[in-house]
């Protein structure tokens, strides 16, 4: 059996078919419960606060524990995934947050719940890194943006799903039932995903070429369905070092900067604004039911925004879409605190949520995993995700301070400032991966935007 597998080009020439849909289903379902568990915070904390189980500062500690866990999970899974493979890491993290979620359902006090949330965060942070990166390595370059974007749709659908389920379940069974649903769902998916294959790109990158060739032949047989396949492109000739130090030297250093800035920004938008919406509404005098209703309406912008990102990334390009969605978010972020009308408030909030989740799809799902070569993809993604999560550990406390001092306007001022920094960084340092193979992206492509047009 030949051991010169050329896995990247052979995967890129495959027609989209049952194989890709199976991979998407198995990864996407796990990512859905990842999103469901992340967004449980917004549905649970308002109730625990209202019933006296928690205080506002304990809620902030709960969210910070999530970030600490996600930060450590993101960092660890990068090294584990590049060392032991994608398959090992996505199964381990799913099992971890499934078990921790079930334990959280039986928390006798808020401190125990915060500890459980930390371990849930470890699993959630790992799933986010390895899920998107694994999908990146299977999907052909010509449609990579769409498929990765729809993976992000699976994640963010957890937001309206969590709010909708909470509006039905919490009044009858209490907030603990939300953790039961998330944990049981995660464990079911863990069992289903035992059949998910390893990444042939990773196997080839670490020298396990015989395994990569055998797996590629099986994938090609399933994908071809008896039809002849087009010839693959020549193997990439640009080498990529697996050494960690290459991430902090050109050309990857600029990509690390882009990744870190983008993930700090989007994490702060999500966990400094979106997940706090039910708490904001309750503190402003709305009932729990009205708060959930407003939040659910705004949350419908999550899958819509992510779907828009998925459908436009391959057509418009990554950089124009990121910059455009950021600019729209800035404008709506300025308007939102000025709205007090009970009908306009959720409508403008919905309009603001859409571009935020366009960014979620582009940054988490598509752009960041594309920036780095296979040899260091999970470590690089893990490190920039760690910086994003780490920077937002203090966000809940900052949000509480800003909200108590300036209301929603103070919170939005922080978000707008970060969006402006993101626009400048992506425009000046970002690369354009649209319709390009992962192997081709190993080349140095860090010329300043002033002298280089978007591909």
pLDDT tops 80 at residue 250: yes
* pLDDT at position 213: 93
**Residue 319 confidence (pLDDT):** 95
Tokens of 418: 């970060």
pLDDT of residue 203: 92
User: What's the pLDDT score for residue 280?
Assistant: 67
What is 55-99 written as a DSSP string? -HHHHHHHHHHHHHHHHHHHHHHHHHHHHH-HHHHHHHHHHHHHH
Residue-wise pLDDT for 22-78, tens only, equals 999 989 988 888 888 877 876 788 888 888 898 888 888 898 788 788 889 888 888
Q: Residue 133: how many CA atoms within 13 Å on its side-chain side?
A: 35
Report the distance separating Cα 27 and Cα 37, nearest Å: 16
Two tokens, residue 23: 């991979």
More confident residue, 308 or 42: 308
pLDDT at 41: 75
Burial (0-12, 13-18, 19+ Cβ within 10 Å), 1? exposed
Confidence at residue 293, expressed as pLDDT on a 0 to 100 scale: 67
142/130 Cα distance (integer angstroms): 21
What percent of the chain has a predicted confidence (pLDDT) above 90?
31
pLDDT band at 1 (very low <50, low <70, confident <90, very high): very low
pLDDT at 446 over 50: no
Contact residues for 227 (Cβ-Cβ < 8 A; gap 6+): 15
Residues 6+ apart with CB under 8 A from 451: none
pLDDT exceeds cutoff 50 at 452: no
Q: What is the pLDDT of residues 254-294, one digit of tens each?
A: 999 999 999 999 988 887 777 666 666 666 555 555 666 66
Closest CA to 366 of 317, 422, 327, 429: 317
CA–CA distance, 374 with 370 (Å, rounded to integer): 9
Q: Which domains does the chain have, with CATH numbers?
A: 9-226+243-451 (1.20.1250.20)
* pLDDT winner (highest mean) among 152-166, 239-253, 355-369, 396-410: 355-369
What's the whole-number average pLDDT of the chain?
84
Residues 77-118: tens digit of each pLDDT:
888 888 888 888 888 888 898 999 999 999 999 999 999 999
- Output the CA angle 67-68-70, nearest 5 degrees: 60
Q: Which residues, at least 6 apart from 444, have a Cβ–Cβ distance to it below 8 Å? A: 250, 251
pLDDT of amino acid 324: 96
**pLDDT number for residue 421:** 96
Query: How many Å apart are CA 37 and CA 118, to the nearest integer?
Result: 12
Give the C-alpha distances (Å, rounded to integers) separating 161 from 38, 346, 362. 12, 18, 21
Give residue 428's pLDDT: 92
The yes-or-no verdict on residue 210 having pLDDT over 80 is yes
């Amino acid at each position: 059996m030949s051991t010169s597998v050329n896995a990247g080009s052979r995967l890129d020439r495959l027609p989209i078919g049952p194989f890709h849909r199976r991979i998407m289903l198995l990864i996407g379902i796990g990512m859905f419960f990842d999103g469901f568990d992340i967004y449980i915070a917004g549905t649970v904390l308002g109730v625990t606060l209202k019933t006296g189980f928690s205080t506002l500062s304990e809620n902030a500690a709960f969210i910070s524990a999530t970030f600490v866990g996600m930060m450590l999970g993101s960092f660890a899974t990068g090294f584990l995934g590049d060392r032991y493979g994608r398959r090992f890491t996505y199964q381990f993290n799913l099992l971890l947050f499934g078990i921790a979620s079930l334990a959280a359902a039986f928390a006798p006090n808020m401190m125990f719940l915060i500890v459980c949330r930390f371990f849930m965060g470890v699993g959630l942070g790992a799933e986010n890194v390895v899920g998107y990166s694994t999908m990146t390595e299977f999907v052909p370059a010509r449609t990579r943006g769409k498929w990765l974007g729809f993976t992000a749709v699976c994640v963010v659908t957890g937001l309206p799903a969590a709010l909708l389920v909470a509006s039905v379940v919490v009044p009858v069974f209490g907030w603990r039932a939300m953790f039961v649903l998330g944990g049981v769902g995660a464990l079911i998916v863990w069992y289903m995903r035992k059949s998910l294959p390893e990444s042939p790109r990773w196997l080839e990158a670490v020298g396990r070429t015989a395994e990569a060739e055998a797996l590629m032949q099986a994938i090609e047989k399933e994908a071809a369905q008896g039809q002849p396949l087009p010839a693959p492109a020549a193997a990439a000739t640009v080498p990529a070092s697996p050494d960690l130090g290459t991430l902090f030297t050109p050309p990857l250093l600029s990509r690390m900067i882009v990744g870190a800035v983008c993930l700090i920004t989007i994490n702060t938008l999500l966990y400094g604004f979106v997940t706090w919406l039910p708490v904001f509404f309750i503190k402003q005098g709305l009932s729990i039911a009205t708060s959930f209703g407003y939040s659910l309406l705004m949350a419908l912008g999550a899958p819509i925004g992510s779907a828009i990102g998925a459908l436009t990334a391959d057509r418009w390009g990554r950089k124009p879409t990121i910059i455009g969605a950021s600019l729209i978010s800035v404008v709506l972020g300025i308007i939102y605190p000025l709205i007090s009308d009970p009908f306009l408030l959720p409508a403008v909030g919905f309009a603001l949520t859409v571009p935020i989740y366009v960014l979620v799809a582009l940054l988490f799902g598509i752009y960041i995993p594309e920036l780095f070569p296979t040899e260091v993809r999970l470590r690089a993604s893990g490190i920039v995700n760690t910086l994003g999560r780490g920077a937002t550990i203090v966000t809940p406390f900052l949000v509480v301070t800003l909200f108590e001092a300036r209301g929603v306007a103070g919170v939005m001022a922080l978000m707008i400032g970060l969006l402006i920094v993101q626009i400048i960084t992506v425009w000046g340092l970002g690369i354009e991966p649209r319709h390009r193979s992962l192997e081709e992206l190993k080349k140095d492509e860090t010329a300043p935007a002033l002298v280089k047009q978007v591909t």
